[in-house]
Amino acid sequence: MKALNQAQVCFSSNSVNESFGRAAVAAFLSQLDPTVADLTDMKTAVSEAVTNAIVHGYKDRMGTVYITIKIFENGKAVVRVRDKGCGIPDIEQAMEPLFTTGGEERAGLGFAVMQSFCDSVRVTSAVGRGTSVTLTKHFGRKE
């Protein structure tokens, strides 16, 4: 299926850019005239994915986080968050709620939040090459 509209954003893996990443996605998706609740859900999911890229993907170094946003018919939005970092050795384990390698201050809820706030979450990863998280959500129009 061909996208009706798309945008790309990339930025350094500075944690201060987490808010920029989710705000950029929200700004682009606002053309779907979404409800505040739907838009916040997507913002939250993007925030989790971008944080994962910064905290885990590029844990030892600076890198670039790439976000692609595509809009399809019927209010379907697909957001892909990609890094060229260390990759995930065991995706199934990484997606388990409460599993974290991030230490005491991380709740281990990132993927659980993405799954609960989006319609679908797809993760592909290669160790040493990077990780790609694809978030899909349908936006109903405001009443």
Partner 1 sequence: MNVQLSYKEGVLTAKLFGEIDHHSAKEMRETIDDTAQKLKPYCLRLDFTGVPFMDSSGIGLILGRVRMCGFWRGHVVLCGLSQNLNKMVELSGIAGVAAIERRAG
Cα angle, residue 44 at apex, residues 82 and 109 outer, rounded to 5°: 85
Angle ∠(101,123,58) on CA atoms, nearest 5: 45
> 14, 17, 22, 48: which one is catalytic?
48
- Picking from 45, 25, 67, the residue whose alpha carbon sits closest to that of residue 113 is 45
Residue 133 touches partner 1, criterion: CB under 8 A: no
In the bound state with partner 1, the residue whose beta carbon lies nearer, of 104 and 143, is 104
Is 73 a residue of the active site? no
For residue 84, give every residue at least 6 positions away whose Cβ sits within 8 Å of its Cβ, in sequence order, or none: 57, 63, 64, 129, 130
Among 34, 85, 110, 130, binds partner 1 (CB under 8 A): 110
Residues 31-50 that bind partner 1 (CB under 8 A): 37, 40, 43-44, 47-48
Element (H, E) at 81: strand 76-83
Catalytic annotation present for 61: no
DSSP state of 139: -
The least CB distance from residue 80 to partner 1, in Å, is: 18
Task: Rank residues 76 and 106 by Cβ distance to partner 1 and give the closer one.
Answer: 106
Q: Which of 9, 13, 18, 132 binds partner 1 (CB under 8 A)?
A: 18
Torsion of CA 13, 16, 18, 19, to 10 degrees: -150
For the CB of residue 17, give the shortest distance to partner 1 in the complex, in Å: 8
User: Which residues in this chain contact partner 1 in the complex, by CB under 8 A?
Assistant: 15-16, 18-19, 22, 37, 40, 43-44, 47-48, 51, 54-55, 104-107, 109-110, 112-113, 116
